[in-house]
Structure 1
Amino acid sequence: MKIVSLVLKYLPEHLADVQAGIERIPGAAVAQDDGKGQLIALIEDGEGYAVSDSIIAVHQVPHVMSVTLAYEYSDEVFATEEV
Protein backbone atom coordinates (compact mmCIF):
# COMPACT_ATOMS: atom_id res chain seq x y z
CA MET A 1 0.00 0.00 0.00
CA LYS A 2 1.18 3.46 -0.88
CA ILE A 3 -0.44 6.71 0.18
CA VAL A 4 0.61 10.28 -0.57
CA SER A 5 -0.79 13.67 0.24
CA LEU A 6 -0.34 16.67 -2.00
CA VAL A 7 -0.84 20.39 -1.43
CA LEU A 8 -2.28 22.09 -4.50
CA LYS A 9 -2.56 25.79 -5.27
CA TYR A 10 -5.09 27.24 -7.69
CA LEU A 11 -7.11 30.42 -8.20
CA PRO A 12 -10.18 30.32 -5.91
CA GLU A 13 -12.62 30.96 -8.77
CA HIS A 14 -11.63 27.57 -10.23
CA LEU A 15 -12.45 25.57 -7.09
CA ALA A 16 -15.22 23.43 -8.65
CA ASP A 17 -13.12 22.57 -11.73
CA VAL A 18 -10.09 21.62 -9.66
CA GLN A 19 -12.10 19.46 -7.24
CA ALA A 20 -13.86 17.69 -10.12
CA GLY A 21 -10.53 17.09 -11.87
CA ILE A 22 -9.00 15.54 -8.75
CA GLU A 23 -12.01 13.29 -8.14
CA ARG A 24 -11.71 11.84 -11.69
CA ILE A 25 -8.18 10.56 -11.01
CA PRO A 26 -7.95 6.91 -9.86
CA GLY A 27 -7.29 6.72 -6.12
CA ALA A 28 -7.44 10.49 -5.59
CA ALA A 29 -9.72 12.46 -3.28
CA VAL A 30 -9.90 15.98 -1.92
CA ALA A 31 -9.26 15.75 1.82
CA GLN A 32 -9.35 19.42 2.77
CA ASP A 33 -10.03 22.64 0.91
CA ASP A 34 -9.79 26.09 2.43
CA GLY A 35 -11.78 27.68 -0.41
CA LYS A 36 -9.03 30.27 -0.80
CA GLY A 37 -6.94 28.55 -3.45
CA GLN A 38 -5.24 25.76 -1.55
CA LEU A 39 -6.30 22.17 -1.01
CA ILE A 40 -4.95 18.85 0.21
CA ALA A 41 -5.42 15.82 -2.03
CA LEU A 42 -4.90 12.23 -0.93
CA ILE A 43 -3.84 9.51 -3.34
CA GLU A 44 -3.86 5.79 -2.59
CA ASP A 45 -2.61 3.08 -4.94
CA GLY A 46 -4.98 0.48 -6.29
CA GLU A 47 -5.41 -2.35 -8.74
CA GLY A 48 -4.33 -1.32 -12.23
CA TYR A 49 -2.67 2.03 -11.50
CA ALA A 50 0.30 3.41 -9.61
CA VAL A 51 0.46 6.36 -7.25
CA SER A 52 3.06 7.94 -9.54
CA ASP A 53 0.59 7.91 -12.46
CA SER A 54 -2.03 9.63 -10.32
CA ILE A 55 0.47 12.27 -9.16
CA ILE A 56 1.31 13.07 -12.78
CA ALA A 57 -2.42 13.30 -13.56
CA VAL A 58 -2.89 15.81 -10.71
CA HIS A 59 -0.24 18.04 -12.28
CA GLN A 60 -2.32 18.05 -15.47
CA VAL A 61 -5.64 19.09 -13.88
CA PRO A 62 -6.70 22.41 -15.44
CA HIS A 63 -6.16 25.50 -13.25
CA VAL A 64 -3.72 23.79 -10.84
CA MET A 65 -0.76 26.15 -10.50
CA SER A 66 1.47 24.08 -8.21
CA VAL A 67 1.64 20.66 -6.56
CA THR A 68 3.80 19.87 -3.54
CA LEU A 69 4.31 16.40 -2.09
CA ALA A 70 3.56 16.76 1.63
CA TYR A 71 3.53 13.16 2.86
CA GLU A 72 4.37 9.70 1.55
CA TYR A 73 3.75 6.31 3.16
CA SER A 74 4.55 2.82 1.93
CA ASP A 75 4.21 -0.45 3.79
CA GLU A 76 6.27 -2.30 1.22
CA VAL A 77 9.35 -3.97 2.67
CA PHE A 78 12.46 -3.83 0.58
CA ALA A 79 14.44 -7.05 0.54
CA THR A 80 18.12 -6.68 1.28
CA GLU A 81 20.69 -8.67 -0.56
CA GLU A 82 22.97 -10.96 1.38
CA VAL A 83 26.65 -10.44 0.72
Structure 2
Amino acid sequence: MNISSVVIMTKPEHIQEVLESLEESGLCDIHFHDEKGRIIVTIEGEDVYEETFKLKAIQEIPHVMSAEMSFSYSEEELQKAINEFERVQKEQEVPEILENENIRAEEIVYKGHIKAYID
Protein backbone atom coordinates (compact mmCIF):
# COMPACT_ATOMS: atom_id res chain seq x y z
CA MET A 1 0.00 0.00 0.00
CA ASN A 2 1.28 3.44 -0.96
CA ILE A 3 -0.01 6.71 0.48
CA SER A 4 1.01 10.12 -0.87
CA SER A 5 0.06 13.68 -0.17
CA VAL A 6 -0.68 15.92 -3.14
CA VAL A 7 -0.66 19.72 -3.25
CA ILE A 8 -3.21 21.05 -5.73
CA MET A 9 -3.36 24.64 -6.96
CA THR A 10 -6.36 26.35 -8.54
CA LYS A 11 -7.52 29.94 -8.87
CA PRO A 12 -9.47 31.12 -5.81
CA GLU A 13 -12.62 31.65 -7.88
CA HIS A 14 -12.62 27.95 -8.87
CA ILE A 15 -11.87 26.36 -5.51
CA GLN A 16 -15.42 25.20 -4.77
CA GLU A 17 -15.79 23.68 -8.22
CA VAL A 18 -12.46 21.83 -7.91
CA LEU A 19 -13.33 20.63 -4.38
CA GLU A 20 -16.63 19.25 -5.66
CA SER A 21 -14.90 17.52 -8.58
CA LEU A 22 -12.31 15.97 -6.25
CA GLU A 23 -15.04 14.78 -3.89
CA GLU A 24 -17.06 13.23 -6.73
CA SER A 25 -13.99 11.60 -8.31
CA GLY A 26 -13.29 9.26 -5.38
CA LEU A 27 -9.59 9.57 -6.22
CA CYS A 28 -8.48 11.14 -2.96
CA ASP A 29 -9.28 12.35 0.54
CA ILE A 30 -9.39 16.12 0.99
CA HIS A 31 -7.68 17.40 4.14
CA PHE A 32 -7.19 21.14 3.73
CA HIS A 33 -7.97 24.06 1.45
CA ASP A 34 -7.66 27.82 1.73
CA GLU A 35 -8.91 30.98 0.07
CA LYS A 36 -5.76 31.23 -2.07
CA GLY A 37 -6.64 28.08 -4.04
CA ARG A 38 -4.37 25.58 -2.29
CA ILE A 39 -5.79 22.12 -1.63
CA ILE A 40 -4.06 19.27 0.22
CA VAL A 41 -5.23 15.71 -0.45
CA THR A 42 -3.96 12.19 0.03
CA ILE A 43 -4.10 9.41 -2.53
CA GLU A 44 -3.71 5.70 -1.92
CA GLY A 45 -2.74 2.89 -4.22
CA GLU A 46 -1.53 -0.69 -4.22
CA ASP A 47 1.62 0.48 -6.02
CA VAL A 48 3.24 3.54 -7.57
CA TYR A 49 1.43 2.91 -10.86
CA GLU A 50 -1.98 3.24 -9.24
CA GLU A 51 -0.89 6.41 -7.45
CA THR A 52 0.46 7.86 -10.68
CA PHE A 53 -2.82 7.07 -12.45
CA LYS A 54 -4.75 8.91 -9.72
CA LEU A 55 -2.37 11.88 -9.78
CA LYS A 56 -2.72 12.23 -13.56
CA ALA A 57 -6.52 12.04 -13.26
CA ILE A 58 -6.45 14.83 -10.64
CA GLN A 59 -4.25 16.93 -12.92
CA GLU A 60 -6.90 16.59 -15.66
CA ILE A 61 -9.75 17.97 -13.52
CA PRO A 62 -10.98 21.28 -14.96
CA HIS A 63 -9.43 24.37 -13.33
CA VAL A 64 -6.60 22.42 -11.65
CA MET A 65 -3.50 24.48 -12.45
CA SER A 66 -1.10 22.02 -10.83
CA ALA A 67 -1.15 18.87 -8.74
CA GLU A 68 2.12 17.44 -7.45
CA MET A 69 3.04 14.77 -4.93
CA SER A 70 4.64 16.18 -1.82
CA PHE A 71 5.27 13.25 0.53
CA SER A 72 5.00 9.54 -0.07
CA TYR A 73 4.91 6.37 2.02
CA SER A 74 5.49 2.99 0.45
CA GLU A 75 5.22 -0.33 2.28
CA GLU A 76 7.48 -1.84 -0.39
CA GLU A 77 10.23 0.72 0.31
CA LEU A 78 9.85 0.19 4.04
CA GLN A 79 10.12 -3.58 3.65
CA LYS A 80 13.25 -3.21 1.48
CA ALA A 81 14.84 -1.04 4.16
CA ILE A 82 13.95 -3.53 6.90
CA ASN A 83 15.36 -6.41 4.84
CA GLU A 84 18.60 -4.50 4.21
CA PHE A 85 18.92 -3.65 7.91
CA GLU A 86 18.42 -7.29 8.88
CA ARG A 87 20.97 -8.42 6.26
CA VAL A 88 23.58 -5.99 7.56
CA GLN A 89 22.85 -7.03 11.15
CA LYS A 90 23.53 -10.68 10.29
CA GLU A 91 26.74 -9.90 8.41
CA GLN A 92 28.30 -7.67 11.06
CA GLU A 93 29.27 -9.39 14.23
CA VAL A 94 29.84 -7.44 17.41
CA PRO A 95 33.61 -6.84 17.83
CA GLU A 96 35.24 -8.84 20.63
CA ILE A 97 36.32 -5.71 22.47
CA LEU A 98 32.66 -4.80 22.96
CA GLU A 99 31.81 -8.27 24.25
CA ASN A 100 34.73 -8.50 26.69
CA GLU A 101 33.43 -7.77 30.20
CA ASN A 102 37.01 -7.56 31.60
CA ILE A 103 37.83 -4.38 29.66
CA ARG A 104 36.83 -1.17 31.36
CA ALA A 105 35.48 1.65 29.21
CA GLU A 106 38.23 3.96 30.52
CA GLU A 107 40.84 1.62 29.00
CA ILE A 108 39.47 1.91 25.48
CA VAL A 109 41.12 4.57 23.33
CA TYR A 110 38.85 5.67 20.52
CA LYS A 111 40.66 5.96 17.17
CA GLY A 112 37.81 7.29 15.06
CA HIS A 113 36.30 3.94 14.17
CA ILE A 114 35.81 0.65 15.99
CA LYS A 115 37.33 -1.15 12.95
CA ALA A 116 40.73 0.08 14.13
CA TYR A 117 40.47 -2.50 16.95
CA ILE A 118 39.32 -5.31 14.69
CA ASP A 119 41.92 -5.13 11.91
Q: State the distance in 1 between where 2:43 and 2:72 align.
A: 10
Length-normalised TM-score, structure 1: 0.79
Question: Does the aligned pair in 1 maintain the 2:5–2:69 contact within 8 Å?
Answer: yes
Q: Quote the offset at 1:68 in angstroms.
A: 2.0
Question: Does the aligned pair in 2 maintain the 1:27–1:43 contact within 8 Å?
Answer: yes
Which amino acid is 2:43 matched to?
Answer: I
Match of 1:5 in 2: 5
Question: 1:5-63 CA distances to partner (integer Å, 9 max, x unpaired)?
Answer: 111111111111111221233440211101221111110126xx921111110100110
Q: State the distance in 2 between where 1:38 and 1:7 align.
A: 7
Q: Output the aligned Cα RMSD.
A: 2.1
Structure number with greater Rg is: 2
Please give the secondary structure, in 1, of the residue aligned with 2:25. Answer: coil
More helix by proportion, 1 or 2? Answer: 2
More strand by proportion, 1 or 2? Answer: 1
Between the aligned residues of both structures, percent identity stands at 32
Work out which structure has the larger RCO, using CA pairs closer than 8 Å and 6 or more positions apart in sequence. Answer: 1
Residues 62-77 of structure 1: pairs in structure 2 closer than 5 A: 62-76=62-76, 77=79
Runs of 4+ in 1 over 4 A off after TM superposition: none
Number of matched pairs: 78
Q: State the distance in 2 between where 1:37 and 1:26 align.
A: 20
Question: Does the aligned pair in 1 maintain the 2:27–2:58 contact within 8 Å?
Answer: no
Which amino acid is 2:61 matched to?
Answer: V
